[in-house]
Amino acid sequence: MDYFGIASVSTAYSQVQVQQSVSLSVIKKGMDAQEAQAAALLEMLPPPSESLIDVYA
């Protein structure tokens, strides 16, 4: 049995798991930043008008 082959596959698998975990963390941070930017943009919108405009007339 090739123990070095098993060890190298195990190490490679572990590295892939770490890379995926880091990638997911980066993506989550980016999504959080976009969510904060969207919330800030929504805060900048003027409040809705109290008078309704009849666009179908």
Residue range 4-57, pLDDT digits in tens: 788 899 999 999 999 999 999 999 999 999 999 999 999 999 887 777 776 775
**pLDDT for position 57:** 57
**pLDDT for position 11:** 93
The pLDDT-based confidence of 1 (bands split at 50, 70, 90) is: low
CA quadruple 13, 18, 24, 28: dihedral, nearest 10? 170
**pLDDT for position 46:** 86
pTM of the model: 0.62
CA 50 to chain centre: 36
3-state SS string over 1-57? CCHHHHHHHHHHHHHHHHHHHHHHHHHHHHHHHHHHHHHHHHHHCCCCCCCCCCCCC
